[in-house]
Amino acid sequence: MASPFPFQVAPLPAPSPAGYPLAIFADVGGLEDYYNLFRHHGFGGTADSWAEHLQTIIEEHQPALLDELEFAEGGHTFVAYAASPAVADQFLACVLPYFGTLASLQKYLSQADPDDFFA
């Protein structure tokens, strides 16, 4: 698979949070251009905002995948726990077309309605 930027995938030591072996994460606090793009379109740009948008994308395109992920809340880092490497790969394949570049995120956010999101 191509670079998973802005995400990283890492194994977790056992016992891991929620019992999942992998973490998918993005340093939202360190991605200023992404944050500014979210804000420009009326969204929060926080890790919670990322989680909400990513869950929405997955729900629209691969809803069963949500059963294999658990999303953490709060902080400056987006974190999702994945049940397996295959689930992490499916997550990335589903969301990178929207979050993989600033241009793709710009296109996605320009079509999303801020009133439909809380964060």
- Note the pTM of the prediction, 2 decimals: 0.92
What amino acid occupies position 36?
A: N
Residue with tokens 């340093």: 27
Collapsing DSSP states into helix, strand and coil, what is residue 2?
A: coil
Q: What are the backbone angles phi and psi of residue 111, rounded to the nearest 5°?
A: -100, -10
Q: Give the CA radius of gyration of the chain.
A: 14
Task: Provide the pLDDT for residue 1.
Answer: 46
Measured between alpha carbons, how far is 9 from 23 in angstroms, rounded to an integer?
6
Q: Domain-by-domain residue ranges, the chain?
A: 8-114
Q: pLDDT for 34-54, tens place per residue?
A: 999 999 999 999 999 999 999
Measured between alpha carbons, how far is 69 from 40 in angstroms, rounded to an integer?
29
